[in-house]
Amino acid sequence: MISDAECRTLNSGRFEAVIGLEVHAQLLTDTKLFCGCSTKFGSGPNTQTCPVCIGMPGVLPVLNRKAVDFAIMTGIAMNCTIAPYSRFARKNYFYPDLPKGYQISQYELPLCTGGFIEIVVDGEVRRIGITRIHMEDDAGKNIHEENGNYSFVDLNRAGVPLMEIVSEPELRSPKEAAEYMKKIRSVLRYLGVCDGNMEEGSLRCDANVSVRPVGQTKFGVKAELKNMNSFRFVERALGYEIRRQIEVLEEGGNVLQETRLWDAAAGITQSMRTKEEAHDYRYFPEPDLVPMAIGREIIDALKADLPELPDRKRERFGVRYGLPKYDADLLTSEKAVAEWYERAVSEGGQPKTVSNWMMGELMRMLNEDGISIEDCPLQPGQLAGMLRLIENGTISGKIAKTVFEDMFRSGKDAETLVREKGLVQINDEDAIEKAVDEVLSKHATDVQRFRSGEVKLLGFFVGQVMKATKGKANPQLLNDLLKKKLD
Ligand SMILES: [Zn+2]
């Protein structure tokens, strides 16, 4: 697999990559886009269907108002212009999971155009253009029996509302593409318009990728990559594809315009169909639906109800809490994480210290247990309580790591745990001095070596005293005493 470093080399070398992403997001409505069927995931095959979504003749679609509101909210959040007049179009193709014989999509008059989002890559803020956001209905799902002779069609997904978010070809590396995708997910989850669940297919992504010699303004021939349903796959598939295209060009060949499928198991992209086999969708305005006219008052009302979004929150975190961009970006990527952080700070935690503990220990433990912050057993106030114990010298920072893990596992407060386990820091100078004396007399030769210039042995002595005091010696006192005795 291509590494980030390699990609940077490619980009700063003879070739650069040009990447645009098309993200499909399922809108979090209870019912489908043009009928009243449920959109609940995981129900029995074909239990959530009706004559409209299975494409019976003579039926008429009725547009889901909430889906339109959600798409408009997304457009506003991504700084788009909301079209005062837009309409649906038929995208015609035949496939067994598409009983209507066409998808209802948008073509020449999409709902939202000309926006942007910001991503943070290596501490730098980059602005990526959004070409358009349009609405469409999803197809069903074909299930092919393994080693069998049968294929099945499940139409529960047919008619589920989707939004397609198309970026400008402004992404330049696989890492940027993955960050862009993460940001899209973050914004959609903040808005509550999509659950962002990539495993269940609520958020999917196709990429257009080409390479060109540095300095050339004309785009190279692009390949379309499909089937990337995780951030890691987006990064890996693009890395592979960029390297493949550069190799083709360096060997004097031509990159073909084609659709390629990412094979996660093999770690490669494979040709699915070439341009000659590409569909001609014969788009035409959907005759069964009236055009949409979105008035200013509708946009203003939705705008007024938008929550604080990640970019604004990131900036506020930087200003209000004095956090570096990296911290602020990470802590605001999920609304629930940001809320947890602000509660811990409001309960008395020092802003940067809380950030360090959250990005370090807390994230590590959540990852280990595979749980999200919403289900975190530890409460923000408990972290603030533990930080107070460090500040007032009751426990050392070293002991705090153990206490933190115990709090996470047991749900008990730091104060209780410290009392129960006798972890209170030793601040008694006499007691520490006694331990220091014992260590120094036990390691007389090392003391000699220290005095003859091997000053790095200081760390060894600190370690020995800490061991003797079970990590409870006040580090500052310990250091002062050791230095005094060794001089
Ligand atoms: Zn239906």
CB-count burial class (<10 Å; 0-12, 13-18, 19+) for 399? buried
Q: Are 376 and 363 in contact (CB under 8 A)?
A: no
* 303 CA from centroid of ligand 1 (Å): 30
pLDDT tens figures, 189-236: 999 999 999 988 899 999 999 999 998 999 999 999 987 889 999 999
Torsion, CA 127, CA 133, CA 138, CA 143, rounded to 10: -20
What letter does residue 348 receive in the DSSP assignment? T
Predicted local confidence at residue 317, as pLDDT: 97
Predicted local confidence at residue 213, as pLDDT: 92
Q: Are 394 and 360 in contact (CB under 8 A)?
A: no
* 440 CA from centroid of ligand 1 (Å): 81
* 49 CA from centroid of ligand 1 (Å): 4
Predicted local confidence at residue 1, as pLDDT: 46
**Torsion sign (Cα): 404, 408, 410, 415:** positive
Residue 215 CA, chain-centre distance (Å), reads 32
**Cα separation values, 43 from 37, 46, 156, 198, 369, Å:** 12, 8, 8, 18, 28
What letter does residue 251 receive in the DSSP assignment? T
* 63 CA from centroid of ligand 1 (Å): 12
Three-class secondary structure of residue 64 per DSSP? coil
* 200 CA from centroid of ligand 1 (Å): 20
* 47 CA from centroid of ligand 1 (Å): 10
**Torsion sign (Cα): 365, 367, 370, 375:** positive
* 88 CA from centroid of ligand 1 (Å): 18
* 68 CA from centroid of ligand 1 (Å): 18
302: nearest Cα among 68, 105, 111, 110: 68
* 485 CA from centroid of ligand 1 (Å): 82
* 26 CA from centroid of ligand 1 (Å): 16
**What CA–CA distance (Å, rounded) separates 386 from 397?**
10
**What CA–CA distance (Å, rounded) separates 196 from 25?**
7
* 182 CA from centroid of ligand 1 (Å): 31
pTM listed for this prediction: 0.83
* 139 CA from centroid of ligand 1 (Å): 12
* 405 CA from centroid of ligand 1 (Å): 49
Tell me the residue type at 401: K
* 142 CA from centroid of ligand 1 (Å): 18
Predicted local confidence at residue 147, as pLDDT: 83
Predicted local confidence at residue 113, as pLDDT: 98
pLDDT tens figures, 104-148: 999 999 999 999 999 988 878 899 999 999 999 999 999 998 888
* 116 CA from centroid of ligand 1 (Å): 34
* 37 CA from centroid of ligand 1 (Å): 4
* 152 CA from centroid of ligand 1 (Å): 19
Per-residue pLDDT of the chain (487 residues; tens, 9 = 90+): 455 555 555 545 789 999 999 999 999 999 999 999 999 998 999 999 999 999 999 999 999 999 999 999 999 999 999 999 999 999 999 999 999 999 999 999 999 999 999 998 887 889 999 999 999 999 999 999 888 889 999 999 999 999 999 999 999 999 999 999 999 999 999 999 999 999 888 999 999 999 999 989 999 999 999 878 899 999 999 999 999 999 999 999 999 999 999 998 999 999 988 876 667 899 999 999 999 999 999 999 999 999 999 999 999 999 999 999 889 999 999 999 999 999 999 999 999 999 999 999 999 999 999 999 999 999 999 999 999 999 988 888 888 998 999 999 999 999 899 888 877 778 888 888 888 899 999 998 999 898 888 888 888 998 898 888 888 888 888 888 888 888 7
* 33 CA from centroid of ligand 1 (Å): 9
